[in-house]
Amino acid sequence: MKFNFYPVFLREMMIFANRLKKPGYIVATIMTPLIYLVTFGLGLGRRVEVDGSSYLLFLVPGICAMSAMTNSFSGIATSLAVGRLHFKSIEEILVSPVPYSAVALGEIAGGTVRGLFSSVFILLAALLMGSQLPVSPLFYISWLITAIMFAALGVVAGFKARSHEDTSVFSNFIIVPMSFFCGTFFPIDNVPDVIGVFLQSLPLTHSVICMRAGFEQQPVAIGHLLALAGFCLISILWAVVSIRQSLK
């Protein structure tokens, strides 16, 4: 496959660069997680403690994970859905002599950049609020895997969608619930066992656990890392299969 994915990735970066030129795009991208960070981080962060540390320090890695998830998914899913259904530009890529796996990797790389880009602003905002800069490689590795995983799911949604509204349905029923229930705002250890087992089956839960452990420079169970890597691999393979199936 070599670097066959690069033209696809470059196309996504050109689209992304054009959107960055629009006034308010960056603000719109980070507004929701930033509101959560400011509201809970400043409102409760200095008064509430979780496991001996301030709520702000507890909240930051979860918000970063949520931002990476949301923007990696929505940016690529919307771009693909619009390109497929309205402009028919994706068909031109699929009929070219580029392997489906290269198309998938190029789109995933584009979504990953979008997700990490928005999350950086959340981390910078947290620093201004008195947070710390994570130094553990575990945080950044988990952050990257999270963005890759949900960018791959964005590719799946973009190629599965039969209308532009379908991507919103996927987001409202899958992405938004994970934002709130996967340990972003509260420790999942406090939920009933049955619910806890269900939450452990969701990919963002493992992202938040690994990123929080890296942020606080604490050890993390190897099972969470393996689960995160496994979810990521499955998502990438699903993205390739979705591209193949879209031509049938």
Query: Which pLDDT score, from 0 to 100, does residue 2 have?
Result: 53
Q: Smallest Cα–Cα separation from 190: which of 41, 58, 36? A: 58
Burial class of 22 by CB neighbour count within 10 A (0 to 12, 13 to 18, 19+): exposed
Q: What is the pTM of this model?
A: 0.92
Among the residue ranges 21-25, 106-110, 146-150, 193-197, the one predicted with the least confidence is 21-25
Query: Which pLDDT score, from 0 to 100, does residue 3 have?
Result: 59
Query: What are the helix (H) ranges across 2-136?
Result: 6-20, 25-43, 55-82, 89-94, 100-128
Q: Is pLDDT above 60 for 179? A: yes
Q: Is pLDDT above 80 for 137? A: yes
Q: How many other CB atoms sit within 10 Å of the CB of residue 112?
A: 27
96 compared with 47, residue with greater pLDDT = 96
Query: Which pLDDT score, from 0 to 100, does residue 37 have?
Result: 83
Q: Smallest Cα–Cα separation from 152: which of 162, 140, 160? A: 160
Among the residue ranges 58-72, 122-136, 196-210, the one predicted with the least confidence is 122-136
pLDDT digits (tens, 9 = 90+) for 144-158: 999 999 999 999 999
User: What is the rounded (10 degree) CA torsion for 63, 119, 68, 141?
Assistant: -100
Residue spans of the domains in the chain: they are 6-246
Calculate mean pLDDT across residues 20-29.
82
3-state secondary structure 105-130: HHHHHHHHHHHHHHHHHHHHHHHHCC
Query: Which pLDDT score, from 0 to 100, does residue 35 have?
Result: 86
